């Protein structure tokens, strides 16, 4: 490792050779503004906000892509000339920008807005022709407003990183816009609804479709019994919306806030995750013993399912037929819970709080309900829940912890770790190993499938049988495994796929973090750590040990994989055009 002595703003520092100026400055506590840069995803130096001066260079350089490769390099990051360039750049951007900031969903979390404030931008300095676009509201999961787009191309890079690449730059010069091929609506292309474009957009050009008004209306309707359930990962991310440290577990405060909002019952989707493991584990054992299609691939992630339907429809038989935890939970609320509570399921409104905008699509899929009812009626994101809490005047950080309601309020540690890549696999192994051996195995942490590597694989000997498994997240990585299956090269019996890189903790509905945080803080690791810590502290750590899971099978479903379980908890898929 070659080290170089350099100067930044007249002060001496030592850095590793070929470190970029941006990375070096961050290391030494100097913040350089960026609008386009996303580490390892969008390193193109296009926005020019990070321009810096390197002594001896003929022009200003982009700090995000300029490597420090010479001893004695002298760098200046904040001269009057540099500040002038950045301010002018911002003024040019806002000259062709929809400046309706008060009503913008990203007001107060917009990176462009914050930089304009910091640099004292005159929003009316450059006036002239402006481009105007119609909003694209064609999908169930997001809204695209190119009037707020600054052409940073973060969304394009995120979409490419997800393999699908359904958006890109069309036209040239002043007429350049980010859109689909031939300017089609998003609903008419093979978008998988992952929402990764929304979490990286620095402005309000891409946002989730806001369903909070529907929830408020349902709560206010005296004829409706409104039940909410929250996904495992929400407890590890919701606090960020209220200024709490990344990776803070806010389960108790979240439940308290939901009860204050007026929901009739507050359930834990960890219960649905445990239910998924019971069904999915049983399905896997059945496929292994009876020559079913292998490898079996998990079906919890609706973005992943839609990706498979669009891009690998021939591999649909490999998908588990199990519904996702969201859908299983909703199905049980409108059947098992409705019967126990003596409520007509048609009078129940089920609201799910999910880390994922694809869940908005999933709740309306065919074969996801019965008797003309959806399993879930409304799905909102972590961000939408935070918006509701703030609008209701609830002081989130001051709340005392409260517990989920009984019947579907207990979740195991196995259910909790569903929110991180590898969690579904580990949860399944904890149960499958016990079932096949007929023992309560004391060693049940499968560390080999944890972490954020692109693909994790392991072989476990379970009851004398070697089970080879693989875990991946992010669709670009998933495609590699699917190509191996298609080519007959796969040796795995069981594969976990999560649509979003890192799993649900990094879903498209999670809290917005600005570029300077996303680039230098391992969001996925910090959020996952909160889930694994929660797992360690819960009284039940295996899905089949959850007493509420035992009760629902004893009282209602008979056994995992029963005819009734299949009617309520399993689904089907459909090949879609690419």
Domain harbouring 541, CATH code: 3.40.50.1780
Residues 162 and 219 in one domain: no
Domain count, the chain: 3
Average model confidence (pLDDT) across the chain: 97
The CB density around residue 318, as the number of other CB atoms within 10 Å, is 20
Residue 578 has pLDDT above 90, yes or no: no
CB 503 within 8 A of CB 473: yes
Q: Which stretches of 8-165 are DSSP H helices? A: 21-27, 80-95, 111-118, 154-161
For residue range 505-533, what is the model confidence (pLDDT) as tens digits?
999 999 999 999 999 999 999 999 999 99
Cβ partners under 8 Å of residue 504, min gap 6: 231, 232, 233, 301, 355, 356, 418, 419, 420, 498
Residues 104 and 181 in one domain: yes
Residues 63 and 149 in one domain: no
How many residues does this entry show for the chain?
A: 578
Residue 1 has pLDDT above 90, yes or no: no
**Cα separation, 319 vs 478, whole angstroms:** 13
Residues 31 and 111 in one domain: no
Query: Would you say residue 403 lies in a domain?
Result: yes
pLDDT band per the 50, 70, 90 thresholds, residue 172 = very high
Residues 199 and 237 in one domain: no
Query: Would you say residue 411 lies in a domain?
Result: yes
pLDDT band per the 50, 70, 90 thresholds, residue 423 = very high
Task: Give the pair of three-digit tokens for residue 518.
Answer: 């996303």
Residue 312 has pLDDT above 90, yes or no: yes
Query: Would you say residue 83 lies in a domain?
Result: no
- Residue 146 domain boundaries: 91-208
pLDDT band per the 50, 70, 90 thresholds, residue 417 = very high
Residues 62 and 182 in one domain: no
For residue range 40-66, what is the model confidence (pLDDT) as tens digits?
999 999 999 999 999 999 899 999 999
CATH code, 174: 3.30.70.20
CB 149 within 8 A of CB 110: no
Measured between alpha carbons, how far apart are the two ends of the chain, in Å?
46
Query: Would you say residue 380 lies in a domain?
Result: yes
Task: Give the pair of three-digit tokens for residue 516.
Answer: 């300077």
Query: Would you say residue 105 lies in a domain?
Result: yes
CB 97 within 8 A of CB 147: yes
Residues 176 and 320 in one domain: no
Residue 128 has pLDDT above 90, yes or no: no
CB 270 within 8 A of CB 411: yes
Predicted pLDDT at 141: 96
Residues 203 and 226 in one domain: no
Query: Would you say residue 248 lies in a domain?
Result: yes
Predicted pLDDT at 215: 98
The residue out of 31, 53, 78 marking a domain boundary is 78
* SS3 assignment, position 134: coil
CB 152 within 8 A of CB 202: yes
CA–CA distances in Å: residue 369 to residues 85, 283, 375, 441: 57, 20, 5, 36
Query: Would you say residue 577 lies in a domain?
Result: no
Residue 568 has pLDDT above 90, yes or no: yes
* DSSP strand pairing (51-54 vs 61-62): antiparallel
Residues 271 and 130 in one domain: no
Q: Which of 499, 502, 507, 500 is nearest to 525 (CA)?
A: 502
CATH code, 39: 3.10.20.740
Residues 204 and 218 in one domain: no
* SS3 assignment, position 113: helix
The residue out of 45, 78, 111 marking a domain boundary is 78
Residues 138 and 272 in one domain: no
CB 211 within 8 A of CB 326: no
Residues 452 and 359 in one domain: yes
Query: Would you say residue 575 lies in a domain?
Result: no
The residue out of 208, 239, 271 marking a domain boundary is 208
Residue 484 has pLDDT above 90, yes or no: yes
Q: Which of 246, 265, 430 is nearest to 334 (CA)?
A: 265
């Amino acid at each position: 490792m070659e080290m170089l002595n350099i100067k930044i703003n007249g002060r001496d520092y030592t850095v590793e050779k070929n470190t970029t100026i941006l990375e070096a400055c961050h290391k030494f506590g100097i913040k350089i503004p960026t609008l386009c840069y996303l580490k390892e995803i969008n390193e193109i130096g296009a926005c020019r906000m990070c321009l810096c001066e390197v002594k001896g260079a003929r022009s200003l350089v982009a700090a995000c892509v300029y490597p420090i490769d010479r001893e004695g390099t002298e760098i200046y990051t904040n001269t009057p000339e540099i500040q002038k360039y950045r301010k002018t750049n911002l003024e040019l951007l806002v000259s062709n920008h929809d400046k309706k900031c008060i009503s913008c969903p990203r007001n107060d979390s917009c990176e462009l807005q914050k930089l304009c404030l910091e640099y004292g931008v005159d929003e009316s300095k450059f006036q002239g022709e402006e481009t105007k676009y119609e909003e694209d509201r064609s999908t169930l999961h997001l809204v695209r407003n190119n009037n707020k787009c600054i052409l940073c191309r973060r969304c394009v890079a995120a979409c490419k990183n997800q393999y699908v690449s359904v958006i890109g730059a069309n036209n040239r010069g002043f007429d350049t816009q980010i859109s689909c091929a031939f300017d089609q609506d998003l609903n008419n292309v093979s978008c998988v609804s992952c929402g990764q474009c929304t979490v990286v957009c620095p402005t309000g050009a891409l946002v989730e479709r806001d369903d909070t008004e529907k929830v408020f209306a349902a709560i206010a309707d005296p004829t409706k019994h409104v039940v909410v359930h929250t996904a495992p990962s929400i407890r590890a991310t919701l606090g960020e919306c209220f200024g709490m440290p990344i990776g803070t577990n806010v389960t108790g405060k979240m439940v308290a806030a939901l009860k204050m909002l007026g929901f009739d019952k507050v359930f834990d989707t960890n219960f649905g995750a445990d239910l998924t493991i019971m069904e999915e584990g049983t399905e896997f054992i059945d496929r292994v013993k009876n020559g079913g299609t292998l490898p079996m691939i998990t079906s919890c992630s609706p973005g992943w399912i839609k990706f498979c339907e669009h891009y690998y429809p021939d591999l649909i038989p490999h998908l588990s037929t199990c519904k996702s935890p969201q859908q299983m939970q909703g199905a049980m609320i409108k059947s098992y819970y409705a019967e126990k509570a003596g409520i007509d399921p048609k009078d129940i409104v089920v609201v799910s709080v999910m880390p994922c905008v694809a869940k908005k699509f999933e709740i309306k899929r065919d074969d996801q309900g019965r008797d003309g009812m959806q399993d879930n009626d409304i799905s909102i994101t972590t961000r939408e829940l935070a918006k509701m809490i703030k609008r209701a005047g609830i002081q989130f950080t001051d709340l005392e912890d409260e517990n989920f309601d009984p019947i579907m309020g207990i979740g195991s540690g196995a259910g909790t770790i569903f929110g991180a890549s590898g969690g579904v696999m580990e949860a399944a192994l904890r149960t499958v190993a016990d079932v096949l051996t007929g023992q309560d195995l004391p060693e049940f942490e499968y560390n080999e499938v944890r972490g954020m590597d692109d693909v994790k694989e392991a072989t476990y000997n379970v009851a004398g049988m070697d089970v080879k498994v693989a875990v991946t997240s992010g669709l670009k990585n998933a495609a590699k495994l699917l190509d191996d299956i298609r080519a007959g090269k796969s040796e795995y019996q069981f594969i976990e796929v999560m649509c979003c890189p890192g799993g649900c903790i990094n879903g498209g509905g999670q809290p917005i973090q600005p570029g300077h945080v996303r680039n230098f803080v391992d969001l996925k690791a910090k959020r996952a750590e909160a889930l694994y810590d929660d797992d360690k502290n819960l009284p039940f750590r295996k899905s089949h040990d959850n007493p509420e899971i035992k009760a629902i099978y004893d009282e209602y479903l008979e056994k995992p994989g029963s005819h009734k379980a299949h009617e309520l908890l399993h689904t089907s898929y459909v090949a879609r055009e690419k």
